[in-house]
């Protein structure tokens, strides 16, 4: 029999931050004063994330998201919205998957990295940036 | 008689694997089945002893390879109850077969002609028809799915008209498990003169097939879902229907004689098999259908449908779990949703328990919209799966909401 190393039994599937942000997202909801809105889907799973931003003087003043998405994607969108508020456009676009993973205190297996990068792709679309999302997930 | 799973389990080397500390419960055969040792060994033996290109090699290995490749065709012909061997064309898979048909039939369409699909099609039996319709200026229509997860046959009658040139329908839904009455659908389609195409990807692994009774013009399926290798599929066509098709892919093997400015086509089936075919894969497919025939497809159907029914009933009894698809007439799979938990989180949790399932839109986004969900979680069954594995699945889903 082949025995492979796996996650130790009894350890939760996702990090505490992911579970907390998925169960009780802080930045999920409408943003009526939004002046920048973008949306995208993950073609692999059909997950959809909509990002609403209030951008003034080149800074993100407020951010909210809505989406049909898994726990990882929901938590990633939630911490992204949090990280965005108060950031200048360039600093917002500098956020990458690594930044979200640090905030989520999670290691994500390759097959689920797209769940982390979807909100980042929506952000790039919202801010009219060219090119792919940066960070480790960009290799996939 | 020994239960099918007890009889067959030792034949599948991969089932010895332990995943995340648990014995693998592989409930994803609808995506791709596992391979019995006879398939793996037949392909290895072919490469070790026989391999050469087929049909034009005037040497011993070439002749042996040709013999094996054509023997695979005969074997598949028997497996699907096809009247003639030249009606069996090897493709690269179901998607490839449907694209071949959409290309070839698409060339015969005129603006205003109609292609009729259904709301429960896999993208593979939808997108190629969208492309064909766009090129020809034809119109694509879809038979709706009822709330119970069946095709609305009254709507089918309303949608069929003399403008309908092609009816493309799945035999078994890869999401709902619905076994569609394809013989009846094809009979009605034929009344208006439409060509019928049946996607058998989810049917061929589990149902006894008889092309002479099914009434369709074309039937396609994949090798890798019938315990065979990836990279090969079957397109069966009634000889008269195939004779009417103009090939759309040129190359070696599909011609009789070639000049600089033109060529004559080869006979069936080679007319639709340009280039070097998947020879080792044909050898593996032959071993796979031999294996299934030895088990008996009636027995395979009874076993996998019983497991799907057990799973559907037990999952539906759990609080917060919705099971999709018809109560009666379900194939070898069950799709379900857990309230408040995304299907990918369900699948990730089950993987932690060593249970492999599929989650997401299952390449059937129009059907997901019809069901009003982003995706579902799907457990699908094969000959080697057991009631114990169904019980493991149900227990894990029951524990899921508190565990996440």
The reply to whether residue A70 touches residue B342, judged by beta carbons under 8 angstroms, is yes
pLDDT exceeds cutoff 50 at B18: yes
Nearest residue, CB atoms, B344 vs list A1, A4, A70: A70
Among the residue ranges A27-31, B85-89, B305-309, B371-375, the one predicted with the least confidence is B371-375
In 3D space, the residue among B139, B83, B76 whose CA is nearest the CA of residue B106 turns out to be B139
- Residue B402's contacts (CB-CB under 8 Å, 6 or more residues apart) are none
The reply to whether residue B348 touches residue A1, judged by beta carbons under 8 angstroms, is no
Which residues from chain A sit within 8 angstroms of residue B17, using beta carbons?
2, 4
Residue B403: both structure tokens together:
């565990």
- Residue A33's contacts (CB-CB under 8 Å, 6 or more residues apart) are A54, A62
In 3D space, the residue among B347, B348, B352 whose CA is nearest the CA of residue B22 turns out to be B352
Per-residue pLDDT averaged across A29-58, rounded? 92
Task: Check residue A129 and give its pLDDT.
Answer: 76
B369 and chain A in contact, CB less than 8 A: no
The reply to whether residue B374 touches residue A2, judged by beta carbons under 8 angstroms, is no
Cis amide linkage into residue B269, ω under 30° from 0: yes
Residue A11 banded pLDDT, cuts 50, 70, 90: low
The reply to whether residue B368 touches residue A46, judged by beta carbons under 8 angstroms, is yes
Which residues from chain B sit within 8 angstroms of residue A74, using beta carbons?
342
CATH code assigned to A3-128: 3.90.1010.10
Mind spelling out the 3-state secondary structure of chain B? CCCHHHHHHHHCHHHHEEECCEECEECECCCCCCCCHHHHHHHHHHHHHHCCCCCCCCCHHHHHHHHHHHHHHHHHHHHCCCCCHHHEEEECCHHHHHHHHHHHHHCCCCCCCEEEEECCCCHHHCHHHHHHHHHHCCEEEEECECCCCCECHHHHHHHCCCCEEEEEEECECCCCCEECCHHHHHHHHHHCCCEEEEECCCCCCCCCCCHHHHCCCEEEEECCCCCCCCCCEEEEECHHHHHHCCCCCCCCCCEEEECCCCEEECCCCHHHCCCCCCHHHHHHHHHHHHHHHHHCHHHHHHHHHHHHHHHHHHHHCCCCEEEECCCCCECCEEEEEECCECHHHHHHHHHHCCEECEEECCCCHHHHHHHCCCCEEEEECCCCCCHHHHHHHHHHHHHHHHHC
Residue B342, min C-alpha distance to chain A (Å): 5
The reply to whether residue B404 touches residue A9, judged by beta carbons under 8 angstroms, is no
Task: Check residue A4 and give its pLDDT.
Answer: 44
Interface test with B, best of A17, A43, A45 (most B CBs within 10 A): A45
Collapsing DSSP to helix, strand or coil, A28 comes out as strand
Task: Check residue A134 and give its pLDDT.
Answer: 59
Interface test with B, best of A4, A5, A6 (most B CBs within 10 A): A6
Per-residue pLDDT averaged across B134-161, rounded? 97
pLDDT tens track for B174-227 = 999 999 999 999 999 999 999 999 999 999 999 999 999 998 999 999 999 999
The reply to whether residue B374 touches residue A46, judged by beta carbons under 8 angstroms, is yes
Alpha-carbon torsion (B78, B79, B80, B81), positive or negative: positive
Give the ipTM of the model, two decimals please. 0.79
pLDDT tens track for B270-288 = 999 999 999 999 999 999 9
Per-residue pLDDT averaged across B231-241, rounded? 98
Q: Which of residues 13-52 of B touch A (CB under 8 A)?
A: 16-21
pLDDT exceeds cutoff 90 at A43: no
Closest-CA residue of A relative to B348 is A13
Collapsing DSSP to helix, strand or coil, A61 comes out as strand
Per-residue pLDDT averaged across B238-249, rounded? 96
pLDDT tens track for A119-128 = 999 999 999 8
- Annotation marks residue B363 as catalytic: yes
pLDDT tens track for B298-346 = 999 999 999 999 999 999 999 999 999 998 889 999 999 999 899 999 9
pLDDT tens track for B58-100 = 899 999 999 999 999 999 999 999 999 999 999 999 999 999 9
Residue A8, min C-alpha distance to chain B (Å): 8
Residue A117 banded pLDDT, cuts 50, 70, 90: very high
Q: Which of B166, B314, B363, B364 is catalytic?
A: B363
B395 and chain A in contact, CB less than 8 A: no
Per-residue pLDDT averaged across B224-246, rounded? 98
CB pairs under 8 A between A and B: 65
Residue B280, min C-alpha distance to chain A (Å): 28
Q: Alpha carbon of B320 to those of B317, B327, B376, B399, B404: distances in Å?
A: 9, 18, 14, 12, 14
Whole-angstrom distance, CA of residue A65 vs CA of residue A74: 9
pLDDT tens track for B19-65 = 989 999 999 999 999 999 999 999 999 999 999 999 888 899 999 99
Nearest residue, CB atoms, A13 vs list B19, B343, B349: B349
pLDDT tens track for A72-108 = 999 999 999 999 999 999 999 999 999 999 999 988 8
Residue with tokens 């890869």, as numbered in its chain? B174
pLDDT exceeds cutoff 80 at B235: yes
pTM of the model: 0.92
Residue A3 banded pLDDT, cuts 50, 70, 90: very low
Residue A130 banded pLDDT, cuts 50, 70, 90: low
Nearest residue, CB atoms, A13 vs list B16, B17, B404: B404
Task: Check residue B329 and give its pLDDT.
Answer: 84
- B375 phi/psi in degrees, rounded to 5: -170, 180
Task: Check residue A131 and give its pLDDT.
Answer: 66
pLDDT exceeds cutoff 60 at A137: no
């Amino acid at each position: 029999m082949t025995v492979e190393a796996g996650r130790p039994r009894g350890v939760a599937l996702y990090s505490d931050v992911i579970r907390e942000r998925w169960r009780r997202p802080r930045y999920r909801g409408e943003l009526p004063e939004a002046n920048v809105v973008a949306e995208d889907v993950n073609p692999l799973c059909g997950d959809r994330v909509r990002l609403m931003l209030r951008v003034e003087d080149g800074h993100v003043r407020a951010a909210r998201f809505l989406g049909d998405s898994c726990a990882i994607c929901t938590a990633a969108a939630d911490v992204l919205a949090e990280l965005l508020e108060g950031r200048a456009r360039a600093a917002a676009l500098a956020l990458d998957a690594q930044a979200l993973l640090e905030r989520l205190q999670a290691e994500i297996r390759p097959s689920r990295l797209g769940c982390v990068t979807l909100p980042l792709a929506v952000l790039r679309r919202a801010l009219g940036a060219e090119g792919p999302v940066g960070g480790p997930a960009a290799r996939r | 008689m020994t239960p099918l799973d007890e009889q067959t389990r030792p034949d599948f080397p991969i089932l010895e694997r332990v995943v995340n500390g648990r014995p693998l419960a592989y409930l994803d055969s609808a995506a791709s089945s596992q391979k019995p040792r006879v398939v793996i060994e037949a392909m290895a033996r072919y490469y070790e002893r026989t391999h050469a290109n087929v049909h034009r090699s005037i040497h011993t290995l070439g002749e042996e390879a040709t013999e094996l490749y054509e023997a695979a065709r005969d074997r598949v012909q028997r497996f699907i109850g096809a009247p003639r061997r030249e009606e069996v064309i090897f493709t690269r898979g179901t998607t490839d077969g449907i694209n071949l048909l959409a290309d070839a039939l698409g060339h015969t369409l005129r603006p205003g002609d109609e292609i009729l699909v259904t709301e429960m099609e896999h993208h593979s039996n939808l997108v190629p028809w969208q492309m064909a319709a766009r090129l020809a200026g034809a119109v694509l229509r879809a038979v709706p799915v009822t709330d119970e997860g069946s095709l609305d046959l009254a709507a089918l009658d309303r949608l069929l008209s003399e403008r309908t040139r092609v009816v493309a329908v799945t035999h078994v839904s890869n999401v709902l498990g619905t076994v569609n009455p394809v013989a009846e659908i094809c009979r009605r389609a034929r009344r208006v003169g439409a060509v019928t195409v049946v996607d058998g990807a989810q049917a061929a692994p589990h149902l006894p097939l008889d092309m002479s009774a099914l009434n369709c013009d074309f039937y396609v399926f994949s090798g890798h879902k019938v315990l065979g290798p990836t990279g090969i599929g079957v397109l069966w066509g009634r000889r008269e229907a195939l004779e009417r098709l103009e090939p759309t892919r040129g190359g070696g093997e599909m011609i009789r004689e070639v000049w600089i400015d033109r060529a004559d086509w080869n006979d069936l089936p080679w007319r639709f098999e340009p280039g070097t075919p998947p020879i080792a894969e044909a050898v593996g497919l032959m071993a796979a259908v031999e294996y299934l025939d030895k088990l008996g497809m009636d027995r395979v159907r009874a076993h996998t449908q019983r497991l799907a029914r057990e799973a559907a009933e037990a999952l539906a009894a759990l609080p917060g779990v919705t099971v999709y698809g018809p109560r009666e007439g379900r194939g070898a799979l069950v799709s379900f949703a857990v309230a408040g938990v995304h299907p990918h989180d369900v699948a990730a949790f089950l993987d932690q328990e060593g249970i492999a399932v599929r989650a997401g839109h299952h390449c059937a986004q129009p059907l997901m919209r019809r069901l009003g969900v982003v995706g579902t979680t799907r457990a699908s069954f094969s000959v080697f799966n057991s009631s114990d594995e169904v019980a493991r699945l149900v227990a894990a889903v029951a524990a899921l909401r508190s565990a996440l």
